[in-house]
């Protein structure tokens, strides 16, 4: 078993997932729990995760120095590495910052940890602090252009440190590096598969005879969660689709079609007008998410009352929450809150339901595997994700019916052009953003001052990291011209070339 010490990184659970893929058991602990765990369980290895703090700050989470006395292999990642440096007499300062891709050059291949790695590869960084001085006994294995101590080791003490993130999919050879560490821990690797029967049994066990109502949005996560639940408990599950005007065109029909295939008719609730009323005058992104989240719960509580009156024993609300939603909504003690995903952080504290979240521990690509195993058609399983709060988080500033219409039209144009170019199926997510920023244009020889639309098209599989899609220039040109010509009030289109990290995929 390998212990993962969670310093609040967005990707601690992703490290666990990678190790799970190798058939290795993991346990995620808070730093203050580590020493007693070592004494009682004697883990085979320890991984110290990244985290949002700085090791030199007062109150920054840390571990006992005794941790290094047991000879257990230790891998420090980013903040975890910096913690090792500080505890063993090195120096960490606020310094060179690196976010996103960097070229890692390996100079030392004589150790197990760098076994089989190429001389140069792309590694993803996300740090604002710099290691100024290494502790005694450490040797450099790799560096980037800006960071001389990006990958180090101390074989005598069995400690390894890396400033990049091997767990994210965009770090090339990250899996190989983690596998090398597993070998250093003297553990066997094997392959792991998801067991649908077990997932269904967990649902049956949690729910008993109660009725579950489910928020289904037509998106991949809620579709897979819904079909899985329907297969586990049949008509004890009642899917509900809320048409709030913030969803993509055709979503209602999609939802009906999906559940028809498992013999269930979803309830449809229409709240378009009321949704816009509640969003009136609201520009703050987190406030928007909370308003939408609260409204959802209100609707579901009203639905629950109606169903209970008709004799149904409703106790649970099913949600398609996945792990990236949980962690970005500050799902662990030392983690920073990035945004309140409306199916997690946007929920009010007092809810009248128990939550059923069968996909809470899975990532997007795993959810797609589960969907495929359940027999859901690829048209739904490989559909672009769409955020729970819908177009509201793609409109900077107030959401009005006019701005919503502009956003919808621009979105259709983007989807149409990507489809025509044969690119849509390879894109993880694509959308225009109404930026709220004005700029000057010349239309028909006259001055025109209109809004800037930002186009965002990204590639990802597990949502935790992403890079922008290298769209052909002619496709970019077509989209830009069509949006400026067909969507009223738009003066120009810009392409968003930010990676995640640092930028999130959505703008809000």
- Which residues have a catalytic role annotated? 78, 165, 167
Distances (CA, A) of 331 to 54, 109, 163, 208, 490: 20, 38, 23, 27, 38
316 vs 323 by CB, closer to ligand XMP: 323
CB of 22 to ligand XMP, least distance (A): 26
CB of 430 to ligand XMP, least distance (A): 11
CB of 219 to ligand XMP, least distance (A): 7
- 26-29 and 2-5: which strand pairing? parallel
For residue 72, the SS3 value is coil
Minimal CB distance residue for ligand XMP: 388
Residues contacting residue 370 through CB under 8 Å, at least 6 positions apart:
194, 196, 199, 224, 228, 359, 362
CA 259 to CA 227: how far, in whole Å? 7
CB of 416 to ligand XMP, least distance (A): 20
48 vs 392 by CB, closer to ligand XMP: 392
CB atoms within 10 A of CB 197: 8
Question: Are 233 and 204 within 8 A, CB to CB?
Answer: yes
Largest Cα separation within the chain, whole Å, is 78
CB of 429 to ligand XMP, least distance (A): 5
Start-to-end Cα distance in the chain: 39
358 vs 388 by CB, closer to ligand XMP: 388
237 vs 431 by CB, closer to ligand XMP: 431
CA 290 to CA 282: how far, in whole Å? 11
142 vs 293 by CB, closer to ligand XMP: 293
Residues contacting residue 226 through CB under 8 Å, at least 6 positions apart:
214, 216, 237, 239, 258, 259, 318, 320
CB of 281 to ligand XMP, least distance (A): 21
Nearest to 263 by CA among 226, 300, 299: 226
- Concatenated DSSP letters of 287-344: HHHHHHHHHHHHHHHHHHHHHHHTT--EEEEE----HHHHHHTT-STTPPP----TTT
Element (H, E) at 253: helix 251-260
CA 198 to CA 84: how far, in whole Å? 39
CB of 365 to ligand XMP, least distance (A): 12
Element (H, E) at 474: helix 473-486
Binding site for ligand XMP (CB under 6 A): 289, 325, 328, 339, 341-343, 385, 387-389, 429, 463, 500, 504-506
8 vs 385 by CB, closer to ligand XMP: 385
278 vs 342 by CB, closer to ligand XMP: 342
> What token pair was written down for 310?
């008709």
CB of 325 to ligand XMP, least distance (A): 6
Residues contacting residue 481 through CB under 8 Å, at least 6 positions apart:
none
CB of 506 to ligand XMP, least distance (A): 3
151 vs 362 by CB, closer to ligand XMP: 362
Distances (CA, A) of 199 to 221, 222, 360: 15, 15, 12
CB of 344 to ligand XMP, least distance (A): 8
H runs (alpha helix) in 363-429: 364-373, 378-381, 401-420
Angle of helix 220-233 versus helix 196-207 axis, rounded to 10: 70
45 vs 385 by CB, closer to ligand XMP: 385
429 vs 471 by CB, closer to ligand XMP: 429
Q: Give the angle subtended at the CA of 372 by the CAs of 330 and 169, to the nearest 5°.
A: 45
Give the gyration radius of the chain's Cα atoms. Answer: 25
Element (H, E) at 132: strand 120-133
């Amino acid at each position: 078993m390998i212990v993962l010490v969670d310093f609040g990184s967005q990707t601690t659970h992703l490290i666990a997932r990678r190790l799970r893929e190798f058939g290795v058991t993991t346990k995620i602990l808070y730093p203050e729990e580590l020493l007693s765990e070592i004494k009682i369980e004697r883990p085979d290895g320890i991984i110290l995760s990244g985290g949002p703090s700085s090791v030199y700050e007062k109150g920054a989470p840390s571990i006992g120095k005794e941790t290094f006395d047991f000879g257990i292999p230790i891998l420090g990642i980013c903040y975890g590495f910096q913690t090792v440096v500080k505890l063993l007499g090195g120096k960490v300062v606020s310094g060179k910052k690196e976010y996103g891709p960097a070229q890692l050059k390996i100079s030392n291949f004589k150790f197990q940890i760098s076994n089989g790695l190429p001389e140069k590869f792309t590694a993803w960084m996300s740090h604002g602090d710099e290691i100024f001085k290494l502790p005694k006994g450490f040797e450099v294995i790799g560096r980037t252009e800006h960071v001389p101590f990006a990958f180090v080791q101390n074989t005598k003490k069995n400690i390894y440190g890396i400033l990049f993130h091997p767990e994210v999919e965009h770090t090339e050879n990250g899996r190989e590096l983690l596998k090398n560490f597993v070998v250093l821990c003297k553990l066997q690797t094997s392959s792991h598969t998801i067991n649908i029967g077990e997932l269904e049994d967990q649902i049956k066990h949690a729910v008993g005879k109660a009725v579950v109502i489910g928020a289904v949005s037509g998106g991949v996560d809620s579709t897979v969660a819904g079909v899985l639940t329907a297969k586990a408990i049949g008509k004890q599950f009642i899917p509900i689709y809320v048409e709030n005007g913030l969803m993509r065109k055709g979503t209602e029909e999609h939802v009906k079609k999906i559940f028809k295939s498992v013999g269930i008719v979803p309830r449809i609730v229409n709240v378009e007008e009321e949704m816009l009323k509640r969003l009136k005058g609201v520009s703050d992104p987190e406030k928007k998410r909370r308003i939408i989240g609260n409204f959802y719960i209100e609707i579901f509580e009203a639905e629950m009352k109606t169903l209970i009156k008709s004799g149904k024993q409703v106790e649970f609300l099913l949600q398609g929450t996945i792990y990236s939603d949980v962690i970005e909504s500050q799902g662990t003690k030392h983690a920073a809150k990035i945004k309140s995903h409306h199916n997690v952080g946007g929920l009010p504290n007092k809810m009248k339901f128990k939550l059923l979240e069968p996909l809470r521990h899975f990532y997007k690509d795993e959810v797609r595997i589960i969907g495929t195993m359940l027999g859901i058609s690829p048209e739904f399983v490989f559909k672009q994700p769409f955020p729970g709060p819908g177009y509201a988080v793609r409109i900077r500033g107030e959401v009005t019916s006019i701005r919503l219409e502009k956003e919808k039209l621009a979105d259709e144009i983007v989807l149409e052009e990507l489809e025509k170019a044969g690119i849509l199926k390879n894109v993880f997510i694509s959308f225009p953003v109404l930026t709220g920023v004005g700029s000057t244009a010349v239309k028909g020889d006259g001055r025109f001052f209109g809004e800037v639309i930002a186009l965002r098209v990204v590639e990802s599989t597990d949502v935790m990291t992403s890079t922008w899609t290298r769209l052909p220039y002619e496709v970019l040109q077509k989209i830009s011209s069509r949006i400026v010509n067909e969507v009223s009030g738009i003066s120009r289109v810009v392409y968003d070339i930010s990676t995640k990290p640092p930028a999130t995929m959505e703008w809000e």
